[in-house]
Amino acid sequence: WAAAKTWDPEGALSTLPAVATALLGVQAGRWLARPVPLPARIRGLIVAGVVGVLLGEVWDLAFPINKNLWTSSFVALTAGMACLCLGALLWVVEVRGWRRWTRPALVFGVNPILAYVGSELMAIIIGGVITLPWDHRIAPLQDVIYEAVFYPLLPEKAASLAFALLFVALWWAILEVLYRRRIFLKV
């Protein structure tokens, strides 16, 4: 474990493809902001997505797709996949009008800073600040909740997932209350 913390698998050379990823996202946003009918913008995203996925797969033959190194083939593939997903979501939400399921994203999206900072602080607090006597030791509250509630009922990986989902659901509930009261943290 110690060795894994002493090196950066991405390295300096992955900075350029990471910047390219961000710029492709900016381009997608600019594409969506164009004064063109929505169906045409969605088609453009789908075409760009197919081109990106194909380009990434073909480029993989010469320069393998590798997330840890953030290779250019990885950038092309993931940008293409993102365009396909965004196009599909726009079609489902804006064209078909299926919006009810988007409520959690809306609630998190209008208070993202609070969601991030609050969940990080909560993770720190339950991960070590608040401790309790548990199983012949002093344990962080997070361990006590996990070991008392989830671990006895589920296999280890499923228990970990259930704990994480509960954590997200708790923050969704907090943010839902704030959303209903129109309380938004802005910088």
pLDDT in tens, 29-58: 999 999 999 999 999 999 999 999 999 999
Burial level of 111, CB count in 10 A (0-12/13-18/19+)?
buried
The answer to the question of residue 48 being in a domain is yes
Together in a domain, 86 and 173: no
* Last residue in a domain, options 37, 65, 98: 98
CA-to-CA dists, residue 41 to 9, 46, 130, angstroms: 37, 9, 50
> Residue 65 contacts by C-beta under 8 Å, 6 or more apart in sequence?
56, 71, 73, 74, 77
Burial level of 32, CB count in 10 A (0-12/13-18/19+)?
middle
Together in a domain, 15 and 59: yes
Q: Which helix (H) or strand (E) holds 133?
A: strand 131-134
Tally of domains within the chain: 2
Alpha-carbon distance 84 to 65, whole Å? 18
Domain span at residue 80 reads: 3-98
Q: What is the CA radius of gyration of the chain?
A: 21
* Last residue in a domain, options 79, 98, 117: 98
**Residue 172 backbone dihedrals phi, psi, to 5 degrees:** -65, -40
Alpha-carbon distance 20 to 127, whole Å? 36
Together in a domain, 73 and 110: no
* Last residue in a domain, options 45, 75, 98: 98
Per-residue pLDDT at 77 exceeds 60: yes
At which residue do the structure tokens 């710029």 appear?
A: 23
Q: What is the pLDDT of residues 82-123, one digit of tens each?
A: 999 999 999 999 999 999 999 999 999 999 999 999 999 999
The answer to the question of residue 186 being in a domain is no
pLDDT at 124: 95
At which residue do the structure tokens 């590798």 appear?
A: 66
Residue 146: count of CB within 10 angstroms of its CB: 19
pLDDT at 1: 44
Together in a domain, 92 and 175: no
- Report the candidate in 90, 113, 76, 73 with the shortest Cα–Cα distance to residue 38: 90
Per-residue pLDDT at 7 exceeds 90: no
The answer to the question of residue 108 being in a domain is yes
Together in a domain, 131 and 87: no
The answer to the question of residue 92 being in a domain is yes
